[in-house]
Structure 1
Amino acid sequence: MSDTGYGDFEFERRFWVERPPTDLLESAPALIVQSYLLAQDGFAVRVRAQASAVSEPLDPADDELALLERHVRAVDFCAITVKGPMVEGTRYEAERELDPAVAVELIRRADARVAKLRHSVWLGADGWVIDVFAGGNAPLVVAEVERGGPVTDLVIPDFCVTEVTTDGRFANDGLARSPYGAWASSFATELVTTGPRFLTGLGHNHRAGDVPPA
């Protein structure tokens, strides 16, 4: 349980990135490989394995399981997480740390997997992560900001093209079932047709560099 007064609820907003900001990407990001024991109607049970610093480039031929096996000796954190549906940037999320040996075996036995390199960066007052997906979800890049309470009045970096916080296709459990690589081109067409979208019920959004309203 968190100490923010909101219990096991997480507050985040997520954005689709077309061109990753290379100047902000760490040289040794964390590798995350996770699988879903259950993922339905926004409810999910996830097992995650993480290697905190991966300095060598990933082999684009590797799928999610191959990436895990290649870096399994570097795994230094694992957890199982229970999630509820996302509602306007708020989601129930209860996590418990697991022994790496057990977690890795669970991931090996589950079919729905996601792998990504996670870069962490501070932008203004907020901590962001930039997830560069691998395997079947390449070339997807998603930027995510998380706070201890609702993410309101957000300064949105210029590299964030459109918000996907409430788009179930971009949730990790959605990507595990239907990898982005299979529908990337159709999403690009959709984006041209609809234009960027951002949540409007969480205060005032403004772009980095813009002057906030008085």
Structure 2
Amino acid sequence: MIEIERKFLVTSPQFKKEAFQESRIVQGYLNSHPERTVRIRIKGNKAFITIKGIGNETGLTRLEWEKEISVAEAEKLLKLCETGIIDKVRYDIKVGNHIVEVDVFSGENDGLIMAEIELESEGEVFKKPSWLGEEVTNDERYYNAYLSRNPFKNWS
């Protein structure tokens, strides 16, 4: 139930040529408080409810609990979510021993492309592809819950 994740901006569309899978994701937040977010997500033909806790001092590690629910349930729950639905396409890319997930946002967050990599430990070494740019793990503006309330298009 622990998630260790690093986030990076993406500097080139090269990742699309390396992707082995892509799927559309629509998600909303029943609660977007930074100490405890409750997310509803439809990814392809599956749906999930996820609860995430506050990150540790480094911002890399936090509690995450997720359960699959039916798409019909998720569609109903999305109607109860706070304003600001996230819409994105996720590309999965195998890089070394890891899967890097690259999210290409649309709608209110159009123009934002971000990569995430989940690790086994905070100090784990991983291969960085050439299209990975600035690390934004500790920048809360790049959390999806923040983006749902403060869309990328409104950043100055």
TM-score (norm 2): 0.89
Q: 1:20 aligns with which of 13, 17, 24?
A: 13
Q: As a proportion of its length, which structure holds more strand?
A: 2
Measure the CA separation in 2 of the matches of 1:18 and 1:42: 30
Q: 1:118 aligns with which of 74, 90, 99?
A: 90
Q: 2:66 aligns with which of 95, 102, 124?
A: 95
- Give the share of equivalent positions with the same residue, in percent: 33
Q: 2:33 aligns with which of 40, 55, 58?
A: 40
Measure the CA separation in 2 of the matches of 1:154 and 1:77: 29
Structure with larger Rg? 1
Q: Where does 1:3-152 land on structure 2 (aligned, <5 Å)?
A: 8-21=1-14, 22-25=16-19, 29-51=22-44, 76-87=45-56, 88=58, 89-110=60-81, 111-150=83-122, 152=124
Task: Kindly state the Cα deviation for residue 25 of structure 1 after the two structures are TM-superposed.
Answer: 4.0
Contact preservation (8 Å) 1:44, 1:173:
yes
Measure the CA separation in 2 of the matches of 1:30 and 1:42: 28
Does the C-alpha gap of structure 1 residues 133 and 151 become closer, same or farther in structure 2, counting only changes over 3 Å? farther
Q: As a proportion of its length, which structure holds more helix?
A: 1
CA RMSD of aligned residues (A): 1.6
Does the C-alpha gap of structure 1 residues 151 and 30 become closer, same or farther in structure 2, counting only changes over 3 Å? farther
Aligned-partner SS, 1:166: coil
Gaps of 5+ in 1: 1-7, 52-75, 187-214
Show the counterpart of 1:166. 138
Q: What amino acid sits opposite 2:98 in the alignment?
A: D
Contact preservation (8 Å) 1:136, 1:180:
yes
Measure the CA separation in 1 of the matches of 2:9 and 2:55: 17
Gaps of 5+ in 2: none
Task: Kindly state the Cα deviation for residue 33 of structure 1 after the two structures are TM-superposed.
Answer: 0.3
Does the C-alpha gap of structure 1 residues 35 and 124 become closer, same or farther in structure 2, counting only changes over 3 Å? same
Measure the CA separation in 1 of the matches of 2:76 and 2:50: 16
Task: Kindly state the Cα deviation for residue 116 of structure 1 after the two structures are TM-superposed.
Answer: 0.7
- Alignment length, in residue pairs? 152
